[in-house]
Amino acid sequence: MNAGSSPGTPSRPSASRPLHVAALSVLLAGFGWTGSAFAIENESSDSTTLPGAPRLLPSDTLAYVRLDDADDLREDLRNSSMGRMLNDPKMRPFADEFYVTARELFDRISDEVGVSLDELLAIPHGQVAIAVHPAKPLDEDDKPELDFDDEDDDTRQRRMETLRRREAYSFGGTLIIDAGEHIDSLMSIVDRLQQRATEGPFRLRTKKVDGTEVTRLLPSRPGRMPIEFFEKENTLVIGVGHRSAQDVLDHWNGESDEPTLAENATFGTMISRCVGAEETRPQLTFFVDPHSIIDRVVKRSGSLTAGLFWPVFQELGASRIGGIAGSSFRGGDVFEGIAHYHINIQPPRDGVLGVLRPETGDTSPPNWVPASVSGYTSIHWDIAQTYTNLSKIFERFQGQEALKNAVETPLKTRLGVELQEDVIDNLTGRVIRAAWMEMPIRFNSGVNVFAFELSDTIKAKSVIAKVRDRMPNALTVETVGGHVVYRLRGPGPNFPENMRRPEPSLVILGDWLVYADSTKFIEKASLAAGGNLPRLVDLPEYGLVSGELGGQLKGESPFLLSFLKGSDSIRVIYDLAKDENSRNALRHAGEGNVVARKFSELLDRNELPPFSEFEKYFAPTGVFGYDEPDGIHFGFYTLRADPIEDEDKE
């Protein structure tokens, strides 16, 4: 880096795009191929004296993501199901070709970025963190001069007020990357960023802080944010906003008395709630303060409408959303990955938050859910109280009985149905969402299934009869698998022939009102209910999940539990990739899109292995959730896949 300064010059269009490409590449270097696993602890990694990011970032940080150790993550990914799949001898040729294609595409911008794809992906070494926080205003001596030529006093005053408001509520950002021995590759990207910036509307300044050179790119135009960065002990810190990087350096050197994120009580409490039952260090942590972000955006905008409505939403409870935090882990004998997310909600839970009314109860699949479903979710919810609180919110904005006039009265007039008495009061509060794949595979093969547990099935049939009387042409009756099915009107005659034709239907199975848009699924559900088809509840993988999740729930009763077969979603992509019509569409798209063309050529050159070579690497995944006095906690899990090698089958 050259110390000194260079005067700002007018921005040139040719410099704008490379500047953004270079800046994006710095972010990609931090998060590049590492996927989605990150970490939580404040302690530093063993390979560097770099403190944990929360000890370097400001206490009023608004959003934060931290990867604990990129090298450890690479090793974990190599040993993961996906890593083993890519290294499978039967998959390796296709995976190598895929990477070559990606590298050829990246070569188109590598000259502007300054590194190759291989060099870029190798950059992250240890800790990587990115944060958004309030930006400090520039010192008066560093601010660009305001040009008020040809402006009258009123226009000048409005412009100055806008600039003051935006400066007071602007956002800054900080990126920390421990690059280890690859620091030179990372700094070459930064060199390009600096070059492009100084060719545009930025002035270069440098200074020494305790022996470390801090480079500052000061804007030559009002309203732009300064950029600053430094490199220390093979770590790059780049910030947007006044002192964004220097403040990190001061904390690192122990020369700052300003509080850090690690001293933020709300942050510490929420992160501690996301540790879970794992003994290993989490690889990812994140924290978001949505209320403070929205509040700052509203004040920065100066919008009269937003300024009027935002205080009302705050009064209705939005201000009691303390934040969202999460952590992610890999490793374990049963679960390959576990993530914990916590939404902090300060009591009382009323106003807007009054609609959040989860309850606890049985989450096991009913007998009518066949083992062939690709996804299953069970939710317990206080629907009646949610509707009551929603009505109060409507009345706040639209007057007395606003929701009743908008929903209940029209429903009574048109269908003769009392929403609360005939519908809501007849629901237990348990809702199931399921997914099923109807063969052959098409773009819309996924069947949507929703089911509501009933208190009184006879009353439900009576309500359906009322609707039939009022709308005889919209609801017809059939018998499927020995059960009465109420068929709703489907798509018209112009529906595409190569798509699955939805058949929206209702059926009562036991105590459940089931909606599905496939008659074939209703047939499967009827057989499962009668014990003539395998059920999800008896599936070994489901039993394993339900048994192992106890440790993750820590004694809490869940209101939400889902179980998803990862291989089914991959099956859709696989079959579409093999389908000749899909390939023709990709070839056609490739005529005007280089990315589509490259991947079309990739598929043409390589025959996909049998689906069984993919399927064995994708284990079930899912979600669980439980309610707490201080918020709602969610967990995401992935079972560990244990592929059976060919020699083991013999």
- Tell me: the pLDDT tens digits for 557-598? 899 999 998 888 788 788 878 878 788 888 888 888 877 887
Give tens-digit pLDDT for 306-350: 888 888 888 888 888 989 999 998 766 778 888 999 999 988 888
**How would residue 276 be classed by pLDDT, with cut points 50, 70 and 90?**
low
Region 286-295: what's the mean pLDDT?
95
* Two structure tokens written together for 423: 């519908």
Per-residue confidence (pLDDT) for residue 279, from 0 to 100: 62
Per-residue confidence (pLDDT) for residue 149, from 0 to 100: 64
User: ∠ CA(375), CA(380), CA(386), 5° rounding?
Assistant: 125
State what percent of residues in the chain have pLDDT above 70.
89
**How would residue 117 be classed by pLDDT, with cut points 50, 70 and 90?**
confident
Decide which of 23 and 300 is more confident: 300
378 touches 450 (CB < 8 A): no
Domain residue extents for the chain: 13-263, 346-571+618-649, 572-615
pTM over the 0.85 mark: no
* Two structure tokens written together for 320: 């009691």
By three-state DSSP, how is residue 125 classified? coil
Per-residue confidence (pLDDT) for residue 563, from 0 to 100: 93
Rounded Cα distance between 222 and 212, Å, is 29
User: ∠ CA(71), CA(130), CA(21), 5° rounding?
Assistant: 90
Which residue type, as a one-letter code, is found at position 444?
N
CA distances (Å), origin 302, targets 146, 241, 286, 293, 578 = 21, 21, 30, 15, 53
By three-state DSSP, how is residue 375 classified? strand
- The conformation of residue 181, written as its DSSP 8-state character, comes to G
Strands 560-564 and 375-380, bridge-based pairing = antiparallel
* Two structure tokens written together for 633: 């906690």
Give tens-digit pLDDT for 516-546: 999 999 999 999 999 999 999 999 888 888 8
Per-residue confidence (pLDDT) for residue 207, from 0 to 100: 92
Which residue type, as a one-letter code, is found at position 465?
A
User: Given a cut of 50, is residue 16 above it in pLDDT?
Assistant: no
**How would residue 278 be classed by pLDDT, with cut points 50, 70 and 90?**
low
User: Given a cut of 80, is residue 14 above it in pLDDT?
Assistant: no
Picking from 324, 322, 359, 323, the residue whose alpha carbon sits closest to that of residue 341 is: 324
Rounded Cα distance between 511 and 431, Å, is 12
Rounded Cα distance between 474 and 265, Å, is 57
| 530 phi and psi angles, rounded to 5 deg | -85, 0
